[in-house]
Amino acid sequence: MSENRYGMISGERSAEDRQLAVARLEAEGVPTERILAADPEEPNAPPVWLYSMSANSELIAPSVSDLNLSTQGIAATVEAARELGVHILCLDEAFDSRNDWQSQIGTLLTALNRLDRKGFSDRTKIALQEAKARGQRLGRKPSMTDLRKAVAIQMIEAGYKGTKIWKTLAVLEGPPISQSAYYLWQKAWLAERE
C-alpha cells in the first residue's frame, strides 16, 4: 500500500511549517520524494499532477487547507480526486474520502469555512498594510480638527476653562468629539508648551 501513498502540502507554508508538515507525513508512511505541493499559480484548480495518479492511490495532507490555496481549489481538488478514484485523507480534520460522503460533507464545509475566514482576515491585513504604505491614515478621523485646535488655543489663552471650551468645540463642524478627547489633546498641547 505504501507505493500508492502520496503526501500533499500547501506551497505557501513557511520553511519551518513545511518541515513540520513533511515530518508529519513521513510519520504516516509517505516517502519524502512523494510529498507534492499545491501550485500557487493555479489556486482555483486541482494540481496538474493529480491526474497522473492511479485509482486507489492515497493522498494524505496535514490539513484540508493543504489541498489547495483557495476554497474553490480545495473543492475542485476533492471532486477531481473522487472522479479519479484517488482517496484523500486530511489529518487535522479527520477527513477521509473513503468514508460515506454524507458524513464527510460537514467536516469539509467546516474546514472550508475556517479557511475562508482566514483568507478574509489575511486579505484585510494586506489591504491595511498597503494603505498604510501609501500614507493613508487608518482608523477613525481625529476629532480635533485644525479649526477646533485653533479655537481651543484662542480660548485657552483667553482664560476659558475645559468644559466651556469643549462645549464650544462640540458644535463646530467635524467628527463628534468627546470631552475626554478634548482633555487628552489639551494635556498634550500644554505639555508641548512647557
Instruction: Convert the pLDDT of each residue in 83-116 to its tens digit.
Output: 999 998 888 888 888 877 666 777 777 777 777 7
Q: Please, are residues 117 and 123 in contact by the beta-carbon 8 Å criterion?
A: no
Rounded to whole angstroms, the Cα distance separating 70 from 111 reads 12
Nine-digit cell string for 161: 476653562
Residue 40 in grid coordinates: 500557487
Nearest to 114 by CA among 77, 63, 79: 63
Mean pLDDT of 127-143: 85
Q: What is the mean pLDDT of residues 113-139?
A: 79
pLDDT at position 1: 43
The grid cell for 64 is: 484540508
Read off the pLDDT of each residue in 61-66 and give the average, rounded to a whole number: 84
What pTM, to 2 d.p., does this model score?
0.56
Order across the sheet with 35-37: list the strands. Answer: 35-37, 5-9, 58-61, 87-90, 95-96
> What residue type is 131 in one-letter code?
A
Separation CA 145–CA 185 (nearest Å): 11
Hey, which bits of the chain come out as E strands? 5-9, 35-37, 58-61, 87-90, 95-96
Neighbours of 57 (CB within 10 A): 20
Q: Dihedral sign for Cα 23, 6, 49, 82, please.
A: negative
Q: How confident is the model at residue 128 (pLDDT cuts 50, 70, 90)?
A: confident
Average pLDDT over the chain reads 85
